C-alpha cells in the first residue's frame, strides 16, 4: 500500500510525503525542518524513513526546510539543475540528485520523473512518483498554465496533488495591485480553480483514486469555491475517487492510494 500525506499547502509553506514499503519521499519542504517534523508526527509519519526530498523550485514556501532536513536525515535533495543552482548556497553538505526531462531518479522504492512548468522561478518542475507496485502520484503546483508535457507526465496517475490557487473573480476584486494580479493570473503565475478543473477533467481516468486541491490563496480563494468549481468537471469526466482540499494550517489525514 502507498500512502499520501499532505502536510500543508499554501503561500506560507508546502510539503507532501509519499510512503511505501517502509520508505518515505518528501515532495517540497516549504516549512522549517522543525515544523515538518511536528506535522509529520501529528499524522503518525516517522521521518527516519525519508529516502529523499524532491523540490519543485527554489521559492521558500517550497524549499525553506529542505537543506536542513536533508542534512539531518542523510537524504539527497532531488531538483532540476536550475533549482539546485539557487539552493546550492544554503544546502550545506546535503547530497544532491539532478532530475530533468527524460530522466528518472531512483530512490528506495520510488521512481521520480519530472517535467518543466511555467512559473517565475529557476527551472521549476512538476513531479510524478511511482512506487514499486506501480502506484503513481503526481504533484504539480505553482504553474501558470498546463502544458502538453505536464499532461503527459501526469497521465495515468492514481493520485494527483494539483494547484487550484485562485478564483478569477476574487482575484480581480481582491487586495492585490494590478501588477500582482497580472503575475498571479499570467503564464508564470498560478492555476485558477477553472483551469485546475479543466486539467483534472482531462486527466481523469478509472484508476485515479484521489485528487487533492493545493496551494489555495488565502485572500483570493476558499476551499468551498475550489471544490464547487472542480467537482462538476470531475463528475462529468466520470471520476469515482475522492476529492480533498489541502489546508495551510494543518495536515490532511493520511490518504491510502492503490493502483
CATH code for the domain of 222: 3.60.15.10
Question: Which residues are bridge partners to 255 per DSSP?
Answer: 4
Q: Is residue 254 domain-resident? A: no
Q: Is residue 116 domain-resident? A: yes
Residue-range definition of the domain harbouring residue 11: 2-247
pTM listed for this prediction:
0.96
How many domains, in total, are found in the chain? 1
For residue 88, count other CB atoms closer than 10 A to its CB: 15
Q: Is residue 8 domain-resident? A: yes
Q: Is residue 42 domain-resident? A: yes
46-50, 110-114, 166-170 — which is least confidently predicted?
Answer: 166-170
The 10s digit of each residue's pLDDT in 31-77 is: 999 999 999 999 999 999 999 999 999 999 999 999 999 999 999 99
Q: Is residue 104 domain-resident? A: yes
What pLDDT score was predicted for residue 101? 82
- Residue 126 pLDDT more than 90? yes
Give the phi and the psi of residue 237 in degrees, each rounded to 5: -85, 0
| Average pLDDT over every residue of 95-121 | 92
What pLDDT score was predicted for residue 182? 82
Amino acid at each position: 500500500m502507498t500512502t499520501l500525506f499532505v502536510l500543508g499547502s499554501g503561500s506560507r509553506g508546502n510539503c507532501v510525503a509519499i510512503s511505501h514499503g517502509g520508505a518515505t519521499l518528501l515532495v517540497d519542504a516549504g516549512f522549517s525542518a522543525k515544523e515538518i517534523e511536528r506535522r509529520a508526527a501529528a499524522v503518525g509519519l516517522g521521518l527516519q524513513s525519508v529516502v529523499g526530498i524532491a523540490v519543485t523550485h527554489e521559492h521558500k514556501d517550497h524549499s525553506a526546510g529542505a537543506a536542513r532536513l536533508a542534512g539531518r536525515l542523510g537524504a539527497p535533495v532531488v531538483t532540476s539543475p536550475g533549482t539546485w543552482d539557487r539552493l546550492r548556497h544554503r544546502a550545506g553538505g546535503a547530497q544532491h540528485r539532478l532530475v530533468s526531462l527524460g530522466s528518472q531518479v531512483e530512490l528506495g522504492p520510488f521512481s521520480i520523473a519530472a517535467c518543466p512548468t511555467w512559473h517565475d522561478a529557476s527551472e521549476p518542475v512538476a513531479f510524478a512518483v511511482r512506487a514499486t507496485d506501480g502506484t503513481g502520484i503526481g504533484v504539480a503546483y505553482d504553474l501558470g498554465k498546463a502544458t502538453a508535457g505536464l499532461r503527459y507526465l501526469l497521465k495515468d496517475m492514481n493520485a494527483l496533488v494539483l494547484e487550484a490557487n485562485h478564483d478569477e473573480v476574487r482575484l480581480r476584486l481582491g487586495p492585490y495591485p494590478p501588477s500582482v494580479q497580472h503575475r498571479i493570473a499570467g503564464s508564470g503565475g498560478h492555476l485558477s480553480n477553472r483551469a485546475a478543473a479543466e486539467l483534472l477533467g482531462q486527466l481523469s481516468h478509472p484508476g485515479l483514486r484521489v485528487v487533492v486541491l493545493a496551494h489555495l490563496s488565502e485572500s483570493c480563494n476558499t476551499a468551498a469555491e475550489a471544490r464547487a468549481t472542480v467537482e462538476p468537471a470531475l463528475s462529468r469526466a466520470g471520476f469515482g475517487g475522492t476529492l480533498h482540499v489541502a489546508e495551510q494550517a494543518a495536515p490532511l489525514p493520511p490518504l491510502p492510494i492503490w493502483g
